[in-house]
Structure 1
């Protein structure tokens, strides 16, 4: 069994694993159509080729002889935070310890690339995925509501810090022209230039304000009715994230 960096030649295997794993895990909760739409958009040949060549993206695969049976897909923000977007093991190869081995290799590689904080994101409907992160030292630090296939779903955010480090206060107070606002550094959206972070009017995060743009340190970022986030000051734009393909 070998864990290695993925290449473009692994594309067909990655698509097949994602298709089988997502349907096995989410079809009952989200519906076949929603899952199929996500697979078609997120693992089509062009997008996968672009992702594999992106320096800010890490793809690792588990090879069993000539067969690729699992993969992880992660993003680095450039600010010390990394997100494991997906960790898929083909259903035919589960319960062999491959997920744990792949997770450990993924964490090691991300830290070697400069990450000091690793996040994992899992829908609440995925009991096995939530238990997996909890069993391997991750602590839930937040959640968000998604509209998937016309139904609301909760996505939980898990965080793992280097051993011995205490969890930092991830809400920062900032004075702005609109008064005191609070930046939630554990509620992050990928941007074309730098991440966006959710902002609130109170530290307890009961009243949402908008977004903070890490590229220009501006609060001049907003989401339109189509879910697009952009900064009016520097042009930073939100990149599509894991479940955007299912907003159909």
Structure 2
């Protein structure tokens, strides 16, 4: 089994495997139209090529006897705390059950640490029983949850960290006073990759019950706009976040 970094020449292979993997794992609780729309959003057009060529992304391809059999999609985020976020572990349906997912997770973790990550997190929909069990069986513990949009619905996504740090405060909240005198609480552990610097989730209180908006890590402002597809654009410095993935999980 060979594990290597994916390149632009692997774009079609990655897109094909993602489609097989997602359809096999989510057809039981997501309708076909939602899955097709999400795949088109995250892997359609130039999205896959951009992902492979991004400096912050780590895309690891597994090849067995010349045949691609799976890949992982991760990213390095944060500036105060550098973390490796594992968004997807895709395994071809006919290759599951033989330990490939475990090997892919292990090699992905090593790659993220080599890239400077201080810790590794995995994300999985609460409804994905296999994905949650996978992280639990591989030394991860659920550290929290967050809400994500899939189509017109809101779903809960579980956040997993390795068990030796699972009891630590993974969000690292900091109070930031705004120009109008109000205070927002920025969660530096809840980051989203931007074109110039990460965006961080900001809340109205330390309870993190009410989202205030997104804090731009490039110019330290909350003056930005977010559309229904998860795209964020900072109105001050132009920092941008592309349309967000709709799920991140072991598949």
The range that moved more, 186-195 or 112-121, is 186-195
Q: Secondary structure at the match of 2:241?
A: coil
Match for residue 152 of structure 1?
154
Whether the aligned pair in 2 keeps the contact of 1:3 and 1:60 (CA below 8 Å) is: yes
Match for residue 168 of structure 2?
167
Match for residue 132 of structure 1?
134
Match for residue 117 of structure 2?
115
TM-score by length of 1: 0.87
Q: Secondary structure at the match of 1:29?
A: coil
Match for residue 68 of structure 2?
68
Matched, 1:81 2:83: yes
Match for residue 221 of structure 1?
224
Measure how far apart 1:214 and its partner are: 0.9
Seen in structure 2, the aligned counterparts of structure 1 residues 64 and 167 have a Cα distance that, compared at 3 Å, is same
Whether the aligned pair in 2 keeps the contact of 1:4 and 1:61 (CA below 8 Å) is: yes
Give me the whole-angstrom Cα distance separating, in 2, the residues matched to 1:7 and 1:208: 37
Measure how far apart 1:226 and its partner are: 6.0
Give me the whole-angstrom Cα distance separating, in 2, the residues matched to 1:4 and 1:115: 19
Give me the whole-angstrom Cα distance separating, in 2, the residues matched to 1:142 and 1:66: 39
Match for residue 36 of structure 1?
36
Match for residue 202 of structure 1?
205
Match for residue 12 of structure 2?
12
The range that moved more, 34-43 or 208-217, is 34-43
Seen in structure 2, the aligned counterparts of structure 1 residues 95 and 226 have a Cα distance that, compared at 3 Å, is closer
Give me the whole-angstrom Cα distance separating, in 1, the residues matched to 2:182 and 2:218: 21
Whether the aligned pair in 1 keeps the contact of 2:78 and 2:189 (CA below 8 Å) is: no
Measure how far apart 1:224 and its partner are: 4.7
- Return structure 1 stretches of 4+ with deviation > 4 angstroms: 163-166, 224-227
TM-score by length of 2: 0.86
Give me the whole-angstrom Cα distance separating, in 1, the residues matched to 2:43 and 2:156: 23
Higher relative contact order (CA 8 A, sep 6+): 2
Aligned length: 243
CA RMSD of aligned residues (A): 2.4
Q: Secondary structure at the match of 1:218?
A: coil
